[in-house]
């Protein structure tokens, strides 16, 4: 098994003195945010011990470090999906290296299907909580006390203070930013209409195939989390449009145009208040 020290030693060959304030995980169609980084240092995932390279269209599998509004930021351009057979150990490394590089805050972005009729494709949603419907928890197994405690509370997983900042910045910029609960499925098949009806009854507002494990791991190692999602489609059974990954990328790009403007301003505000 690859150790975190081996992972960090490989990263430090590229960036010996880089320490970040904020980490960003970029979901499907949202990679353009990384293009705003100044003086970027780019490392492909395959060059980092402990990480797997994703094979999903729209995920470039690059760790990019640089300055955003003068603030040192890590962008994980492309995430690791469990439906690809990625070992959970790689997902742990994926999140924990962000903390090891100095970040105090993690912004998780994701493409989601909307379970709300008033929030459609191309819009954004601020995540307030999640329901983990994946068949595992990333903390199962021996606990590393140097990373975090055996048991971690999840009552403020999506940080109240960071959400207040996001809402305030969005209002100032003239963006609508509805809030909602994310339900995480393992995929890769999309959900059935019957499942979506059940999830709406459970209180879910958005559905996707990631986020929950990353947030659990982030909270375990002490990262504050802000969740921002790009709505790419109405969930199954809510519209006549056929669900496709190509559609996800298309509408993700529309929402990304808003997030590309919003996230740098949120990071600037976070830097002022922390």
Q: Dig out the tokens for 81 from the structure.
A: 């999906």
Residues serving a catalytic function are 28, 59, 81, 83-84, 111, 209-210, 233, 245
Q: Is 50 helix (H, G, I), strand (E, B) or coil?
A: coil
Determine how many CB atoms are found less than 10 A away from the CB of residue 36.
17
d(C-alpha 213, C-alpha 248), whole Å: 21
Determine how many CB atoms are found less than 10 A away from the CB of residue 186.
16
Strand bridging mode 206-208 / 105-114: antiparallel
Q: Dig out the tokens for 161 from the structure.
A: 């203070």
Q: Is 272 helix (H, G, I), strand (E, B) or coil?
A: helix
For the chain, give the number of residues.
274
Residue 240 DSSP symbol = S
Contacts of 160 (CB under 8 A, 6+ apart): none
d(C-alpha 129, C-alpha 135), whole Å: 18
**Is residue 184 within 8 Å of residue 229, measured between CB atoms?**
no
**Is residue 156 within 8 Å of residue 104, measured between CB atoms?**
no
Residue 6 DSSP symbol = H
| Backbone phi, psi, residue 182, to 5° | -100, 135
């Amino acid at each position: 098994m690859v150790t975190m020290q081996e992972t960090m030693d490989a990263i430090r060959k590229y960036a010996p003195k880089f320490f970040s304030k904020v980490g960003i995980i970029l979901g499907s169609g949202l990679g353009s945010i990384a293009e705003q980084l100044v003086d970027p240092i780019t490392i492909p995932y395959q060059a980092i011990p402990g990480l797997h390279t994703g094979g999903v269209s729209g995920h470039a599998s690059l760790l990019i470090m640089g300055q955003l509004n003068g603030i040192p930021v890590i962008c994980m351009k492309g995430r690791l999906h469990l439906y690809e057979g990625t070992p959970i150990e790689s997902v742990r490394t994926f999140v924990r290296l962000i903390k090891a590089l100095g970040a105090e805050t993690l912004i998780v972005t994701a493409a989601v299907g909307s379970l709300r009729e008033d929030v459609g494709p191309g819009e954004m949603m601020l995540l307030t909580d999640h329901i983990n419907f994946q068949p595992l928890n990333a903390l199962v197994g021996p606990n590393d006390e140097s990373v975090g405690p055996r048991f971690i509370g999840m009552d403020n997983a999506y940080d109240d203070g960071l959400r207040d900042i996001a809402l305030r910045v969005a209002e100032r910029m003239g963006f609508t930013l509805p809030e909602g609960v994310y339900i995480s499925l393992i995929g890769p098949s999309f959900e059935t209409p019957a499942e979506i009806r059940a999830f709406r009854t459970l209180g879910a507002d958005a559905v996707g195939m990631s986020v929950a494990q990353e947030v659990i791991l982030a909270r375990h190692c002490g990262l504050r989390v802000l969740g921002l999602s790009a709505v790419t489609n109405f969930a199954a059974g809510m519209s006549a449009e056929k669900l496709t990954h190509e559609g996800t990328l298309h509408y993700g790009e529309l929402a990304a145009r808003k997030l590309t403007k919003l996230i740098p301003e949120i990071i600037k505000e976070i830097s002022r208040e922390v």
